[in-house]
Structure 1
Amino acid sequence: MRRAILRLVPRLASLAALLALAACNGGGGQEMVFGTSITATPMGTTSSGSSTSTSTTSAESSTSTSADISSSSASSTGTSGAIPDLGLIPDGGDGPPPGCKGKVDFLFTISSHPTMEIKQARLKASFPGFMATLESEFADFDYHILSSNTSGLWGYPSCVGCQDVCAELPEYPCGTSPEPCDSIRGAGVTYPIGKHASNQRCELASGLRYITAGQPMIEDAFTCIASMGTNGADGVAETTVLALADDLDAPGACNEGFLREDALLVVVAIQDTYDQGSQGTAEDWRDALVEAKGGDADAVVLLVISTDKDEPQGLCGYHPGTEHELRTWTELMQPNALFGSICAEGYDDYFATVAKMIKSQCDVFVPQ
């Protein structure tokens, strides 16, 4: 709407000038007929419930305007003060939007439910191709990648008193001291723990709790922060909301600097169960994403990979009767959102589609 209004300013100024000329003519029997039709209509409701309006000038109306002016001018030939034929009034416009210029903030919220081992493996396998596609699209690909803590827990009571390793979890070293943000839900994960987890401090060159552009061996770094294990934590929607809240993104907080005003936000939430444990509703989760980007729903792209048992043709089987809030969340974020079945053999196609969404939205992105 803002860009459309700006484009109208020079047009209206030109019309005003023509009216002024007509007035100076004292009328002279000439009649100016302006057929310009400007219609502002709300676009289909997006995730924020807000709408974008478009202003259009029909070609037919413009042609009519030009013909009327030309006719008026012709009837005044040889008359002092005749209005010249100006033709179509140029649209000054305000130039193309600035775009995100390759700046993208990726937030991954990954369930560590006991059945998530193979799904996490599929996610990690899709990552290299996804990043390669985006690098080919953006000359200056400037990314932040954060994997949020879904459990809010760190450590195991059974490790107390261990000297070397825990007998029950031989891959997890005892005696490691947690950092302050390790046990905060929604904070970036740098030491995933548990069965099938990384169980080590991930080496992030940024020194922050998320990966930044220029990270050496980025695939290894992502594999480390995305290997959440299977310690039973769900609630990816609520964790997403927490990760984007001011409490965690403020200066000095765990996720400080992750969200950038001039970057597109891409959220990937993956959970193989219905998200019945998250606080709030799909509308609340939608609002949180939009609020994180200053009220601009078009500055967010959402990918949800979850069970599709609510669909008759679902890959996970069909078990009707349960409301799927994660699917509703995705639908509320349309058209910049995609829902994928977690039971697919691979997630490459989902990420390829999302890569196209990111490129498209980045091109029209206007920082708030």
Structure 2
Amino acid sequence: MELRAWYAALCAGIVGLMGCGDSSGQNQNSGAGASGPGSGGTAGGGQGQGGDIFGGQGGDPFGQGGDPFGNGNGGASGGVGGNGNTSGCEHVDVVFALDNSSSMDEEKASMRDVVFPAFAQALLQISGIKDFRAAVIDACPLPANFHTRGAAGECSFQSQKAWMESTSTELTSEFQCAADLYAEDVQCTGDSDDEQPASAVAAALEPPFSTGENAGFLRDDALLVVVAITDEDEQPVPSQRPEQIHDRLVAAKGEAKNVVFLGIGGRTDCDGAYGSADEADNLQRLVDTFAADERGFFWDLCEGRLEDGLTNALTAIEEACTEFVPTVN
């Protein structure tokens, strides 16, 4: 089943939260969910109870239905029916870097309330993936510590770490808390030095942060996924070429094929679905450095529909997992 069709089915099941689709609130993908060739049920356990957006039962945020790829009737949290990778990754480490400028309010709301919950659901339903962890950082690398509190206070992750685990029963609300970015500790001035999401992730995965506040996040047997979003451009301070940022991110995993990079920004200057965006030339060039290994994707913020950008990343993640090479220390 195509991921776009799966997402349409998911949107159809989101009741009482918010509408799916573009900024006008009209859903562009209609129709009933489809079933794959396996014996899976509705995507995300759509007939579950309890009021959560995935139709899960008993507080389980991921439901009990079959997966969106038609690989049997196993639930997203595990179970029977999946074909499972005989080699490759079973774990994924995801870092979301969000530009915290006031012009990003609509994008951040979409990420918090629609995109991340759908992404989390679909990620666990890729055949072979058993779990993931997710961290949030803003677009300033000073400091490059993962966010454990939001603007309203501490997020109190069930993991008791600086990141969220997919096993959490409160994963969606934890992400919503962290993505409501707390910025009182940043040392960036706001004079373009706070518009460097990819650089912030690179710093977060390097000493002193990788051995301090963020220690233990990266797993040798996990694929690294980086999602960088800004409505301006990647503007590293001090200046760095996209190839240098690429090499810093790859160094964290030791192998380019073990990193998937999704850049979300303006392909051109525009007034788009989420408001105005500047052309993200550096970010696009950074994506191109990963595209050589089919690990880089760019989504045009001018088109809106961030959920479709994450869908593209899911395709890359599935492919990357089949070729994953665990780090050997």
Which category of TM-score, normalised to the shorter sequence, fits these structures? Answer: 0.5 to 0.7
- What is the match of residue 237 of structure 1? 198
Displacement of 1:265 in angstroms is 0.2
Aligned residues of 1:149 and 1:187 also touching (Cα < 8 A): no
- AA in 2 matched with 1:340: W
The structure 1 residue matched to 2:167, chosen from 211, 214, 220, is 214
CA distance, structure 2, for counterparts of residue 290 and residue 317 of structure 1: 32
Displacement of 1:301 in angstroms is 0.4
1:298–1:199: structure 2 CA closer, same or farther, 3 Å change rule? Answer: same
Partner SS for 1:146:
strand
1:274-312 deviation per Cα after TM superposition (whole angstroms, max 9, x unaligned): 223443121111101111111x1110101111122269x
Bigger helix fraction: 1
Aligned residues of 2:96 and 2:137 also touching (Cα < 8 A): yes
1:317-338 deviation per Cα after TM superposition (whole angstroms, max 9, x unaligned): 898xx77111100011102111
| TM-score, normalised via structure 1 length | 0.57
Task: Name which structure has the greater RCO, CA cutoff 8 Å, separation 6+.
Answer: 1
Aligned residues of 1:115 and 1:230 also touching (Cα < 8 A): no
Partner SS for 1:115:
helix
The structure 2 residue matched to 1:123, chosen from 111, 123, 128, is 111
- AA in 1 matched with 2:249: L
- What is the match of residue 300 of structure 1? 259
- AA in 1 matched with 2:206: A
Aligned residues of 1:150 and 1:185 also touching (Cα < 8 A): no
- What is the match of residue 108 of structure 1? 96
- AA in 1 matched with 2:105: E
CA distance, structure 1, for counterparts of residue 204 and residue 273 of structure 2: 30
* 1:224 matches 2:177: yes
Q: 5+ unaligned residues in a row in structure 1: which ranges?
A: 1-95, 153-183, 193-197
Aligned residues of 1:105 and 1:144 also touching (Cα < 8 A): yes
Aligned residues of 1:301 and 1:358 also touching (Cα < 8 A): yes
Structure 1 vs Structure 2 CA RMSD = 2.7
CA distance, structure 2, for counterparts of residue 318 and residue 258 of structure 1: 32
* 1:145 matches 2:145: no
Displacement of 1:315 in angstroms is 9.5
Displacement of 1:363 in angstroms is 1.5
- What is the match of residue 288 of structure 2? 331
CA distance, structure 2, for counterparts of residue 318 and residue 99 of structure 1: 37
Deviates more, 1:258-267 or 1:239-248: 239-248
1:108–1:223: structure 2 CA closer, same or farther, 3 Å change rule? Answer: same
CA distance, structure 1, for counterparts of residue 217 and residue 229 of structure 2: 20
Aligned residues of 2:144 and 2:204 also touching (Cα < 8 A): yes
Aligned residues of 2:124 and 2:132 also touching (Cα < 8 A): no
Q: 5+ unaligned residues in a row in structure 2: which ranges?
A: 1-84, 185-189
1:122–1:317: structure 2 CA closer, same or farther, 3 Å change rule? Answer: closer
- What is the match of residue 225 of structure 2? 266
CA distance, structure 2, for counterparts of residue 205 and residue 316 of structure 1: 35
1:119-156 deviation per Cα after TM superposition (whole angstroms, max 9, x unaligned): 1112222111111112222455221111124446xxxx
Q: How many residues align structurally? A: 230
| TM-score, normalised via structure 2 length | 0.64
- What is the match of residue 190 of structure 1? 148
